Structure 1
């Protein structure tokens, strides 16, 4: 009787170990596949949507970055919106940081083209995304720096938009709205 119980226990442990091995091998294969797809996106090759949907949120973030580099902003925005609340706090901070970068790049392009009315809301959305990123990860120096860039972009655009007949002391009042000047990264 005891021998039979040992025998059953041994076979049960062996079956459980085999099941754990198969599960771990499948998870490892999925990670390897996602990493290959991320490498393709980084090298500039697009990946089929059906491969991205079944992957981890990091794969979708890489695809959004790919779209941003190709200046396909609407697709990047829709991809980022799907993953904003996925993953841990660090990943959510990265997603919001990339969203801020997306808006900031568009705002800078609009500002260079002198489309101030289009650039201002984009810069505001960039600031909001950077603040959300910093709320999730306050140690992210890149988000802090880019938030400062976005904050400096708005006063510059306000100054360009001012009519010539206003007093010249408006310039000093305008710069008082900037919360400080960056001293550089440590």
Structure 2
């Protein structure tokens, strides 16, 4: 009787260990597939949307890929879909990348002398950076980019669009920013 109980416990233990091993292998394989997808996006290759649907980290990587390709509307839609998903660190990264898209669009608008379009974009960028910092107060990249956005907006408000020629405005905008940040510490 005792031998039968021991024999049953050994087989039950082996079954549990086998099930745990299969689960770990399945999880490991899934992580490898996700990492390969993220690596593919970061190397500049697009992936099918079906691969991106599952994990917010992959969606974030795809949004960064879309931003690099200047496909801003798609990147904004991708980031908007994952704004409330994941832990606070992921949400901070999502808002930081959202701010980066807005800020990049604002800089392009300023360079094209379209300050009426750039001003709301800078405001949206500042809002996104502040949200990122509210989620992670030690997020140095968000602090830096918030400062860049804050230094850009007051200069844009000083411009008088009716009285100056566009080339003079552009030169004045970029050359009068005092102490423009040069890099992270």
Give me the whole-angstrom Cα distance separating, in 2, the residues matched to 1:108 and 1:30: 39
Q: Is the 8 A contact 1:61 1:79 kept in 2?
A: yes
Give me the whole-angstrom Cα distance separating, in 1, the residues matched to 2:3 and 2:147: 72
TM-score by length of 1: 0.85
Q: Give the aligned partner of residue 176 of structure 1.
A: none
Q: How far does the alpha carbon of each residue in 1:82-103 deviate from its partner, in whole angstroms, 9 at most, with x for none?
A: 1112222111111111111011
Write out the 4+ residue segments of structure 1 that deviate beyond 3 Å after TM superposition: 161-164, 180-186
Q: Give the aligned partner of residue 14 of structure 1.
A: 14
TM-score by length of 2: 0.86
Q: Give the aligned partner of residue 149 of structure 1.
A: 148
Q: Give the aligned partner of residue 31 of structure 1.
A: 31
Give me the whole-angstrom Cα distance separating, in 2, the residues matched to 1:62 and 1:183: 26
C-alpha RMSD over aligned residues = 2.1
Offset, 1:185: 3.9
Give me the whole-angstrom Cα distance separating, in 2, the residues matched to 1:104 and 1:91: 20
Offset, 1:12: 1.3
Q: Is the 8 A contact 1:116 1:161 kept in 2?
A: no
Distance 1:51 1:181, change over 3 A: closer
Give me the whole-angstrom Cα distance separating, in 2, the residues matched to 1:105 and 1:183: 17
Offset, 1:182: 5.9
Q: Which runs of 5+ in 2 are unaligned?
A: 164-178
Give aligned pairs, total.
172
